[in-house]
Amino acid sequence: MTIPTIEYRGYELRAYSHQEFPLHRDPYAKGPRQFSSVVRIDNIQPNAGEPRRYATLFAATPTTASDAIDLAMQYGKDIVDGKVQASGL
């Protein structure tokens, strides 16, 4: 498994996604596939502090893992740029 990672303005962003199963967490249940994701923001400089983790907030629920990763990366960029005031996990 590869963890998508990018460098952005002195930070390293890593995104993780996982599938949310509808109805009692049953992987065989009928219904649309839904994914959630988490973005982790690390300072590139050593000893610069603890990494920060944020659950990604979506306007619409992504239906593929790659969509969830892309949205998590954009959310991380928005946090670094100061466009979003997010609370950490």
- Ranges of each domain in the chain: 5-81
Alpha helices in the chain (DSSP H): 22-25, 65-81
Average pLDDT over residues 15-42: 82
Mean pLDDT of 55-61: 81
Residues 6+ apart with CB under 8 A from 43: 10, 11, 12, 49, 51
Helix residue ranges, H only, 13-64: 22-25
| CATH match for 5-81 among 3.40.1350, 3.40.50, 1.10.287, 3.30.160 | 3.30.160
Q: In this prediction, what percent of the chain has a pLDDT beyond 70?
A: 92
Task: Give the pLDDT confidence score for residue 23 in this predicted structure.
Answer: 66
- pTM score: 0.80
Q: Does pLDDT of 31 surpass 80?
A: no
- Predicted confidence band of residue 60 (pLDDT cuts 50, 70, 90): confident
